[in-house]
Amino acid sequence: MIRRLSRPLVIILGSLAIAQFFVPHQASRWVEARLLDWLVLLESAALVAGILALARRHAARISRGEGPERALAAVTLGAMAFMLATGLALGTGPGSAFGAIYLSVLQPIQASMMSLLGFFMASAVFRSFRLTSAPATILLVSALTVLLARVPLGEHLVPRISMFSTWIIRGPNVAATRGLWIGIGLAACATGFRVILGIQGPTGAKRS
């Protein structure tokens, strides 16, 4: 029964959500507040589901895996449980143990992991950025111009490079991104209407 009701429910709620933009009435604001509340609650649940799925996956690796894989999965689960317990038991505010672990352990790990991309990018550029075709050459010249314009020495090496770089950003770059945004917008509208009409999405996928 719930499944049968889901499509009308999806259509009604989606239509109500669109209508909020066009109806600046107090009642409309009230409905919008409820829709937003549901959206935040449902997305919170989706985030929890994602974290539980991660925990489940690592629990499965502990029971089925072997050697270091099993130990590493245990490390992940242990770290997750430790952080969760610390946050729930001792609070999450600044100055708490939870905050200290975040700033001294998690933040440096995240920052260091992300910064590795700088090394990898240099290596990839050296090995793969090749003048092998006309599009690749244009891409490379554009990249070199933007990079050089951002260096104080650039203007000495190539006069007016900053002006040319600014033109690239405000001219062809805006043109390409604008074309992409319009395309993305049109595709998002089509997908949005399919979701609202229950043709696409978790309930619609099964029907079709």
Cβ 48 to another protein, closest distance in Å? Answer: 5
69 Cβ neighbours under 8 A, 6+ residues apart: 61
Cβ 64 to another protein, closest distance in Å? Answer: 15
Q: Report if residue 159 touches another protein, rule: CB under 8 A.
A: no
58 Cβ neighbours under 8 A, 6+ residues apart: 73, 74, 76, 77
Number of H helices, E strands in the chain: 10, 0
Scan residues 21-60 and list those touching another protein (CB under 8 A). 21-22, 29, 32-56
Q: Report if residue 97 touches another protein, rule: CB under 8 A.
A: no
Residue 142 burial (CB count, 10 A): 15
Q: Report if residue 199 touches another protein, rule: CB under 8 A.
A: no
Cα separation of 122 and 159, whole Å? 26
Cβ 197 to another protein, closest distance in Å? Answer: 9
Interface with another protein (CB under 8 A), residue from 78, 97, 159, 160: 78
Interface with another protein (CB under 8 A), residue from 108, 159, 160, 207: 108
Contact yes or no for 98/86 (Cβ under 8 A) = yes
Pick 45 or 160: Cβ nearer another protein? 45
Interface with another protein (CB under 8 A), residue from 106, 159, 160, 207: 106
Cα separation of 159 and 116, whole Å? 33
Q: Site size for another protein, by CB under 8 A?
A: 145
One character per residue 110-149, x = contact with another protein (rule: CB under 8 A): xxxxxxxxxx-xxx-xxxxxxx--xxx-xxxxxxxxxxx-
Dihedral over Cα of 183, 186, 190, 193: its sign:
positive
Interface with another protein (CB under 8 A), residue from 8, 23, 193, 207: 193
